A = this chain, B = another copy of it.
Amino acid sequence: MAGSSFGRIFRITTWGESHGPALGCVIDGCPAGVELSEADIQPFLDRRKPGNCAVATSRKESDECEILSGVFEGKTTGTPISVIIRNSDMHSGDYDELRSVFRPGHADMTYDAKYGIRDHRGGGRSSGRETAARVIAGAIASKVLAVLGISVEAYTRSIGPVEADMDEYSRSAVLANATAMPDITANAKALEYIADMKNKSDSCGGVMECMVKGVPAGIGDPVFDKLDALLAQAAMSIGAVKAVEIGDGTLVAKSLGSKNNDQFKASKGNISKKTNHAGGILGGISDSSDIIVRCSVKPTPSIARSQKTVNVSGENTEIEIKGRHDPVIVPRAVVVLESMCAITILDCLMYDMSSRMENLVRIYNN
């Protein structure tokens, strides 16, 4: 199945190339009876859309989606939801050189090694544009989760050396700031830094994070399909992500058991933790604390400087990448991380319904 599907019950399949006629997503297994229209999806796509500030490429992607199936009179029917986005404003000519030369940091060489043929225009299937299809599914998953009282919020933690102050966290700031940072001061500094990168024909990386609130304890499966393992796959599958951390992440390596263990407390029969170093997951199963997923994102590989590389004939050459490119990927990737987390959590919730005999009795014996 070549890797274009994700999820076990809430299962999505994406398709489409950067400069092909269209791209899209099929969501199979969405529960029936959820109110849904294009208006639920468009805001997610808009957050991914470039062109509205100096941060991002000037390519105009209108990214208007159309629902082609699975929704009847405003509600999901339980059948597959097919959503499509037509591509437009494609400057395929910008990419002619890439037919024969491999861009450093990109997947041109590896696609060629794997398939022996590739759509070189804009990276084809390996383009970040592929993530628009994920965001469609993420919008739908988020809508379902909201009904269950679960919120999924991603944001930029840092860009290059500029770190956000999480004490200033506000969701509206995340949605308003061009960097998707949760505080205004850091946003301003980061924009300066990005502008500097652009001037230097260079690019930078950053960190994004997702916080999931309201997941009940008990979600996720032991051993290989641990909730954190599935979140790690989901997050690492986003193009430029090179590290995934849960809770305290890499910090645990230098911590001590006496400090890293989150002690439990009970209040009126409700069990909670005094701290949340674990990031909401114990033994691969949710513990009802906030789930925290953090990703390190590499600098945009497309830079307007001369780089050494090779061509398809195996000869040494140089390349200076043309086209319109973001000097940093993080701000537009934040909604992709949010989407992948929402999809994963919903799939795990649906999968978990049959884990106890009493749930089967509840659904079927009355």
Contact = CB atoms under 8 A, between A and B. Distances in A.
Interface centre among A114, A206, A248 (most CB of B within 10 A): A114
Contacts of A231: 236
Contacts of A262: 104-105
Contacts of A296: 245, 249-253
Given A110-B285, A250-B243, A314-B270, A357 B224 contact: no
Nearest to A340: B224
Contacts of A76: 117, 357
A147 to B, nearest CB: 7
B202 A258 contact: yes
Contacts of A305: 258
A7 B3 contact: no
A59 to B, nearest CB: 18
Contact of A349 (B197, B235, B364): B364
Interface string A214-239: 00111111111110111111111101
A20 interface: yes
13 contacts: A2-B9, A5-B13, A15-B80, A15-B81, A33-B356, A102-B264, A110-B285, A116-B356, A148-B361, A236-B246, A243-B243, A260-B298, A266-B316
A33 B244 contact: no
Contacts of A283: 106-107, 110-111, 126, 239
A205 B260 contact: yes
Interface string A279-308: 101111111100000001111111101011
Contacts of A226: 3, 236-237
A154 interface: no
Copies of this protein in the assembly total 4
A130 interface: yes
B31 A356 contact: yes
Interface string A163-174: 000000000000
A323 interface: no
Interface string A199-214: 0001111110000000
A13 to B, nearest CB: 5
A118 interface: yes
A115 B355 contact: yes
Interface residues of A, number: 168
A222 B113 CA distance: 13
A278 interface: yes
A266 B318 CA distance: 12
A285 B113 contact: yes
A364 B216 contact: yes
B303 A117 contact: no
Given A205-B253, A205-B255, A307-B263, A79 B246 contact: no
A126 to B, nearest CB: 4
Contact of A263 (B117, B220, B309): B309
Contacts of A239: 283
A115 B261 contact: no
A270 B109 CA distance: 12
